Structure 1
Amino acid sequence: MLVTRRAFTTALSLTGLAALAGLSPLRLIAEAMAASADDVTRPQSLPDMALGPADAKVAIVEYGAPTCPHCAKFSKDVFPKIKSEYVDTGKVRYMFRNFPLNIKDLACEMLARNIAGDDAVKYFAVVDIMFRQQDQLVEKTGDTLKLIGRQAGLSVQAVEDCLKDQAMQDKIAAVQKYAEDVLKVDGTPTFFLNGQVIVGETSFEEFDQRIKSLLKT
């Protein structure tokens, strides 16, 4: 199930997060190619947070959002298998780009970047925590972000200052604009595998098949 910003905002305003959880788990797989694999991996206004070697044969870019329930399910059920089977073995380079569906996702990315600095491993760890605490993030965003910040050694004031960083907001907005204008991303989760796009909830088996096919080329 693809979550678009419009659908997510409407569901929140009408019936809350449960409305999204109740949607049928239809999955849309787009077979179209992105403009090119180079377009997908082109350097952005923010450095990519990536796991796996830069020269890996397969590059996967995920556009996700901490408040997206389908992204959280992927993070819990599918990503660990991809990481174990392919990232940790040096076959895949995996990148996560936040595609904010709302102001809460924007705040999450600002805090995650602030905590991690240039440390991609730490960044992925923070994002994982955010997915695991998704309900709290949606219901009590400020309190939950302050708790995550405190666990990372930041004071409440440091978290508040982080969330006021206009320069960081502008960079995140630029990453999203590129995704929308060039890569035609309009919802989460959206994945690119060497330029091939997969939209919506996808099983490990589907990723496994696609990755193996790309490794053979």
Structure 2
Amino acid sequence: MIRVTLLALTLLAATPALAQDRTTALNSTPAYMLSEAPTDHTMGSVDAPDTLILYASNVCPHCGTWFANDWPVVKSELVDTGKLRLVFRPLPSAPINLSITGFIMAECAPAETYMTVIEDQFARQSTILSAQDGAIIKAQYDAIAKVAGLEDETAIAECLANEGHFDTLQTSANRAGAAGITGIPSFIFNGEVMSGDNDAAAIMRWVNEN
């Protein structure tokens, strides 16, 4: 279902940005580089006393480990209890065609299910990255498409052809660069780029000591 569009997106792998000809127009110092933007994908109460911006890639193994081990604790203990508001910002990485495809599918999902699609991709990450057969990858992305509410080839094609979604990813990358983000996963807590430990225990300390 997504084979053709995946092949088309491999053209982006030849450039360091999502699409070089779009970077110039979008690469001015972006607003909200250290704070929540109106168009960000978020979880948690708007009244939460603390805000955590998370930069991650859906195909980054370190990000996958964080989502498997630490996100469930952060979500249940901090986000769901109203202590912390999460802002998720996608930062595509190699294999870039798979990363961008997954993130754009998430952009096409209803806003309230965006993070469900992201969580689903992290749950499938090891299968996708270890696959030796293109049919396995195709099946995984067909399933991701379903979670995003993309029920057929036409819906997927229209989703992945939407240039606005590329702009969204580029803006996220621009904000990361302006904030000095050099690796993933990376965290900005209450406007400060954090260094050192970033597991669930560390994040709980940030909240409790604030």
* Structure 2: runs of 5 or more not aligned: 1-31
Match of 1:83, SS state, is: helix
Structure 2: distance between partners of 1:131 and 1:199: 23
Residue 176 (structure 1) aligns with: 173
1:64 aligns with 2:60: no
CA deviation profile, 1:138-178 (whole Å, cap 9, x unmatched): 34444422222135452122113212222211221122112
Instruction: Provide the rounded CA distance (Å) in 2 between the counterparts of 1:58 and 1:154.
Output: 37
Matching residue within 155, 158, 163 for 1:158: 155
- Distance, in Å, in 2 between the alignment partners of 1:110 and 1:200 is 30
- 1:186 is aligned to 2:182: yes
Report what 1:125 is aligned to.
Answer: 116
2:104 counterpart residue number? 110
Q: Please, what TM-score do these two structures have when normalized by structure 2?
A: 0.74
CA contact (8 A) 2:63 2:185 kept: yes
CA–CA distance in structure 2, aligned partners of residues 49 and 177 of structure 1: 16
* 1:102-125 deviation per Cα after TM superposition (whole angstroms, max 9, x unaligned): 23221111101112x221xx1111
Read off the aligned partner of 2:63 and give its amino acid letter. Answer: C
Give, in whole Å, the separation in 1 of the partners of 2:33 and 2:60.
Answer: 25
Where structure 1 has 5 or more consecutive residues not aligned to the other structure, the ranges are: 1-37
Give the aligned residue type for 2:166: Q
1:118 aligned partner, one-letter code: A
- Residue of structure 1 in register with 2:73 after alignment: 81
Is the 1:110–1:163 contact (alpha carbons within 8 Å) kept by the matching residues of 2?
A: yes
Identity among equivalent pairs (%): 23
- Residues 88-109 of structure 1, C-alpha deviation per residue, up to 9 Å, x if partnerless? 1111101111001123221111
Counterpart of 2:103, as a letter, is E
Matching residue's letter, 2:116: A
TM-superposition CA deviations, 1:30-71 (whole Å, max 9, x none): xxxxxxxx6411426xx1111111121110010000000111
1:208 partner letter = M
* Comparing 185-194 and 151-160, the one that deviates more: 151-160
Q: Secondary structure at the match of 2:88?
A: strand
Identify the residue that residue 197 of structure 1 maps to in structure 2: 193
**Equivalent residue, structure 1, for 2:40:** 48
CA distance in 1, matches of 2:138, 2:182: 26
Aligned length: 171
Of 68, 73, 82, 1:90 maps to: 82
Distance 1:167 1:41 in 2: 21
CA change 1:133–1:66 in 2 (3 A) is same
Contact residue 33 and residue 175 of structure 2 kept, 8 A: no
Q: Root-mean-square deviation (CA), in Å?
A: 2.0
Contact residue 66 and residue 131 of structure 1 kept, 8 A? yes
